A and B are shown apart, each in its own frame.
Chain A
Amino acid sequence: MTLVNKFIYKFPVWLKKNLFNTPTNSIISIFAFALVWKLSVFILNYMVIGAVWSGSAKTCRELGGFCYPFLFEKARFIIFGFYPSEELWRPSLAMVQLFATLFYIKEPSRFGLKTFIYLTVSFLIFFWLIGGGLGLSAVTNDKWGGLPLTVMLAFIGILFSYPFGILLALARRSDLKILKTLSVCYIELIRGVPLISVLFMSSVMFPLFLPDGVNFDKLLRAQIAIIMFVSAYMAEVIRGGLASIEKGQYEAAQSLGLSYSQTMIYIIIPQAIRIVIPPTVNTAIGMFKDTSLVLIIALFDLLNTTKTAMRDANWLGFSLEGYVFVGLIYYIFCSLMSKYSKRLETEFLVKER
């Protein structure tokens, strides 16, 4: 039998067995098919066949349909914001090398000195490429924007909040009353407040408390606010992992003569972190999307550049196109993150179970 023949004979059998095996399932299958069909036809018509592929805002308005010229015109601004147009290779390269590093590190959950060095170097290169200096022309950070800004706020937020989260979680489980109280207060305070107000505090209220003449960067303040915010959530995730480690592990470590910090560093924390990979990535994905809130303190992250592009007087009325585009970018990043976590999980599963 040829492959085609095989398919023709087997496919109906498969359909009968999996989709039409009971009357209820048959009805559900038919409805599902209808829905998928309708949606595909609509999307195909709107975004491919009936779409406008070239021309100006005027042609888009006359013809209707999905307006690609808007995206062609605005994609650069949405992705890079106000970054000087002749230097765009710099933020692009900065992001590519950062992701390459992240994928190169095979076991980020094992705290190796190597992992730490790789990431530090990668972030330094990231800032050097975007900010300039050492042979590159300087670009002040009020011009940074779009995807690189979102990536920076989210990734640095997530990576830095990790060690703080671990420390907070350890403090919360500590026998020392003062440490425990401080940690609980911090976590509950931060978790009880929306991110938007933490950002607002950092950008509007905080400078009021500083003495005259002392001022530090708005972007840095926003980044610190994000790190502080995520740390509280990471702490609770990691605490869950710590709580799930059996007492026997502590006892074995103690009986071998390991000190408290050695027990934590080599035995308990590595195991706890592995257990909480799924909720950690959950927090990270949430965080990635939450960075869009920095638009209220007038930073031009990915969502804010999109909104700004939509407000262009020449291109009013194409918000659907803008949201679809930016939605796709967010989707790609979030699904990559969950893929990454899946990979880590299976890696440990294969080896250790």
Chain B
Amino acid sequence: MSSQKDLMIEMKSLNKWYDQFHVLKDINLSVKHGEKIVICGPSGSGKSTMIRCINRLEEFQKGELTVNSIPLNNDLKNIEAIRKDVGMVFQHFNLFPHLSILENLTLAPIRVKHIPKKEAIQMAMEYLEMVKIADQANKYPGQISGGQKQRVAIARSLCMKPKVLLFDEPTSALDPEMVKEVLDVMVDLAKEGMTMLCVTHEMGFAREVADRVVFMDQGTILEENTPHEFFSNPKHERAKEFLSQVIH
């Protein structure tokens, strides 16, 4: 058994309602340091909602959630601390259109972490180098392609040196030919040991990097298994159905 200290994220019977609608039902999930989790399931199954609970973009009503041993509750100090540890990449990139690529990356380090501007720029350029987009640093988000935007978004979250990265369908809004460039970056990150939670339908990616695949449907976790087991021998009827539709 892993000790409490090894856990990066721990959810204990997490419940969330939108008014009458029960979106998350008794979610239990533990993520260890350095673990890569892929979360999949049909749309409306609550997978995005679940990972958005981790950095408090959504509130849950019942249960417990701890990130790096910090309990997530209404205490603003805790929320602040957790957001410092948790980075997020969105389906629609959500870059800041009025700032240049470089400014998109340096804003939070300068304003939140109070890193000197020079250092922040240097760090930002390193990450842009890593996602192979350093030559676009002075352009604006409106001037680059979707795949490039998503790589910038990844670099932007990395600039805050997060301990966990959440990916909310990072390739769903991309043209097919741009999916690979983003996945390549994610694979590189995984290899470097980043703790990752990805909501995605890219099963190839799941096979390649995931330590565990979590299958959700109608607000509950139906199956949790290694990718090999999950793909070759899904236990649940809904998972089989889902896989037959996703993998052609």
Name A residues whose Cβ lies closer than 8 Å to a Cβ of B. 246, 248-249, 251-258, 262, 266-267, 270-271, 274, 348, 351-353
A274 in contact with B98 (CB, 8 Å): yes
Which 7 residue pairs are nearest across A and B when measured between Cβ atoms?
A252-B94, A256-B108, A248-B94, A255-B88, A257-B83, A257-B112, A353-B142
Collect the chain B residues with CB atoms within 8 Å of residue A353's CB: 140, 142
> Given A251-B57, A255-B86, is A352 in contact with B140 using a C-beta cutoff of 8 Å?
yes
Question: Across the interface, do A256 and B97 meet the contact criterion of CB distance under 8 Å?
Answer: no
**C-alpha gap A246/B56 in the complex (Å):** 18
Report if B208 contacts A (CB, 8 A): no
Interface contact tally, CB-CB below 8 A: 64
Query: Complex formed: what's the CA distance from A252 to B55 in Å?
Result: 11
Q: Give chain A residues whose Cβ lies under 8 Å from the Cβ of B107.
A: 256, 258, 266
**Is B195 part of the binding interface, using a Cβ–Cβ cutoff of 8 Å?**
no
Tell me, in angstroms, the Cα distance from A170 to B101 when the chains sit together.
Answer: 27
Sampled A-B contacts (7; CB under 8 Å): A251-B57, A254-B83, A256-B157, A257-B80, A257-B83, A257-B160, A352-B140
Q: Does B212 contact A (CB under 8 A)?
A: no
List B133-165 residues whose CB lies under 8 Å from chain A.
Answer: 140-142, 156-157, 160
- Any chain A CB within 8 A of the CB of B25? no
The reply to whether A248 and B112 form a contact with Cβ atoms under 8 Å apart is no
Query: Are A252's CB and B96's CB within 8 A?
Result: yes
- Find residues 144-198 in chain B having any chain A CB closer than 8 Å to their own CB: 156-157, 160
Least distance between B56 CB and chain A CB atoms (Å): 8
Report how far A140 CA is from B86 CA in the complex, Å. 61
State whether A249 touches B112 (Cβ < 8 A). no
Residues of B within 8 A of A246 (CB): 94
Q: Name the contact of B94 in the complex, choosing from A251, A262, A352 (C-beta under 8 A).
A: A251
A255: B residues at CB distance < 8 A: 55, 57, 83, 86-88, 157
A254 and B83 CA atoms in complex are apart in Å by 8
User: What's the least CB distance linking B144 to chain A, in Å?
Assistant: 12
**A257 CB contacts on chain B under 8 angstroms:** 80, 83-84, 108, 112, 160
Which listed residue, A249, A251, A262, A352, touches B111 by the CB 8 Å rule? Answer: A262
- Smallest Cβ-Cβ distance to A348: which chain B residue: B98
Q: Could you tell me how many residues of chain B have their Cβ less than 8 Å away from some Cβ of chain A?
A: 26
- A239 CB, nearest partner CB in chain B, Å: 19
Question: In the complex, which residues of chain B have a beta carbon less than 8 angstroms from the beta carbon of A262?
Answer: 111-112
Chain A nearest Cβ from B32, distance in angstroms? 22
A16-B195 Cα distance, complex, nearest whole Å:
71
User: Whole-angstrom distance between the alpha carbons of A271 and B97 in the complex?
Assistant: 8
Q: Which of B56, B95, B112 contacts A258 (CB 8 A)?
A: B112
The reply to whether A270 and B111 form a contact with Cβ atoms under 8 Å apart is: no
Q: Which B residues touch A258, using CB under 8 A? A: 107-108, 111-112
Query: What CA separation (Å) do A251 and B87 show in the bound complex?
Result: 11
Q: Does B92 contact A (CB under 8 A)?
A: yes
Query: Per-residue 0/1 for B75-97: is the Cβ within 8 Å of any A Cβ (1 yes, 0 no)?
Result: 00000100110111010101111
Interface string of B102-146 (1 = CB under 8 A from A): 000001100110000000000000000000000000001110000
Cα-based distance from A253 to B108 in the complex (angstroms):
8
The answer, among B80, B90, B112, for a CB contact under 8 Å with A252, is: B90
